[in-house]
């Protein structure tokens, strides 16, 4: 047995040591996050802590702002929330019902959004009552998408430059899902178009930014859970 283990480890490929599976944004913003409220005794399942996001920037975060973070695949890919944020898994690291042969990936990516009708003022907090079903470490790799631009959290990426949010847009970053530029607006086709969050589409002579992963039949007609109406470029 010892020799078999030695031979296996000797021929194994180098282990991964990346902190995140996705690309890191080029700028950061100062949003604090804390986790507490873990239940004890007979109330400790499902696991239901409160994640508090505090806007420590100097500007209000607009309604519809999307937050994302990673949780380990030690928990199944059915995380959700009980606070109306619509938290769901947007990229699963392991979907099989078993773990025979090991887990397929390392992280699930989850996301939720502020209500489209409610901004998060500077200095204010938003509480997310998260629910998951097996213990995890983390969460980690927080990002926030503000006006179509994705930013890291300053607490996790202190070496990144702080974004200037005073203009309402931040710097363009096309490689990282930045603000859609004129000429890149997509014509929405019901039943056909499949777009990523942050994409600007044109439909019935109006422009909308996608959020919360709209399906092909979620045609934009007004600002709602899936769309924020914007001025066309």
Mean pLDDT across 224-230: 86
Range 176-202 average pLDDT: 70
For residues 154 and 162, the answer to whether their CB atoms sit within 8 Å is yes
pLDDT of amino acid 103: 83
Please give the full DSSP string across 177-219, using - where no structure is assigned.
T-PPPTT-PEEP-TTT----TT-EEEETTEEEEE-S---TT--
- Determine contact, residues 133/78, Cβ cutoff 8 Å: yes
Residue 227: pLDDT above 80?
A: yes
For residue 168, what pLDDT is reported?
A: 54
| Among 174, 168, 167, 225, CA closest to 199 | 174
Q: Which residue has the higher pLDDT, 97 or 21?
A: 97
Confidence of residue 13 (pLDDT cuts 50, 70, 90): confident
Which among 16, 49, 212 has a CA at the least distance from the CA of 220? 212
Q: Is the pLDDT of residue 176 over 60?
A: no
pLDDT tens for 32-69 read: 999 999 988 888 899 999 999 999 999 999 988 999 99
10: confidence class by pLDDT, cuts 50, 70, 90 = confident
40: Cβ contacts below 8 Å, ≥ 6 apart? none
C-beta separation of 175 from 183 below 8 A: no
More confident of the two residues 116 and 49:
49
Mean pLDDT score, 120-135 = 94
Give the per-residue pLDDT at 218. 82
Average pLDDT, the chain: 85
* Cβ(152)–Cβ(27) below 8 Å: yes
Half-sphere exposure (Cβ direction) of 60: Cα atoms closer than 13 Å: 9
> Percent of the chain scored above 90 by pLDDT?
44
Residue-level pLDDT at 95:
87
DSSP 6: H
Average pLDDT over residues 190-194: 79
Of 128, 113, 18, whose CA–CA distance to 68 is shortest? Answer: 113
In degrees to the nearest 10, what's the CA dihedral of 60, 63, 64, 69?
A: 40
Task: Compute the C-alpha angle 88/164/161, nearest 5°.
Answer: 80
The strand order across the sheet containing 149-153 reads 28-29, 149-153, 140-146, 66-72, 107-113, 88-91
Inform me whether the pLDDT recorded for 171 exceeds 50.
Answer: no
Q: Does 104 score more than 90 pLDDT? A: no
Q: Could you report the per-residue pLDDT of 177-186, keeping only the tens digit for each?
A: 333 333 478 8
């Amino acid at each position: 047995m010892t020799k078999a283990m030695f031979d296996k480890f000797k021929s194994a490929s180098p282990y991964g040591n990346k902190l995140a599976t996705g690309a890191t944004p080029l700028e950061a913003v100062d949003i604090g996050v804390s986790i507490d409220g873990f239940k004890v005794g007979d109330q400790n399942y499902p696991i239901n802590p409160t994640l508090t996001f505090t806007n420590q920037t100097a500007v209000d975060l607009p309604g519809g702002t999307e937050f994302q973070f990673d949780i380990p695949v030690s928990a199944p890919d059915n995380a959700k929330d009980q606070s109306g944020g619509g938290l769901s898994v947007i990229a699963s690291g392991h979907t099989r019902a078993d773990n025979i042969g090991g887990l397929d990936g390392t992280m699930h990516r989850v996301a939720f959004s502020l209500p489209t009708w409610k901004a998060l003022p500077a200095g204010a907090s938003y509480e997310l009552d998260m629910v998951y079903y097996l213990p995890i470490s983390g969460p980690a790799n927080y990002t926030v998408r503000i006006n179509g631009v994705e930013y890291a959290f300053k607490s996790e990426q202190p070496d990144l430059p702080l974004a200037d949010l005073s203009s309402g847009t931040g710097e363009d970053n096309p490689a990282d899902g930045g603000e859609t530029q004129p000429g890149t607006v997509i014509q929405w086709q019901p039943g056909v178009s499949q777009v990523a969050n942050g994409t600007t589409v044109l439909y019935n002579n109006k422009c909308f930014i996608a959020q919360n992963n709209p399906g092909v039949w979620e045609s934009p007609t007004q600002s709602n859970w899936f769309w924020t109406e914007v001025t066309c470029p």
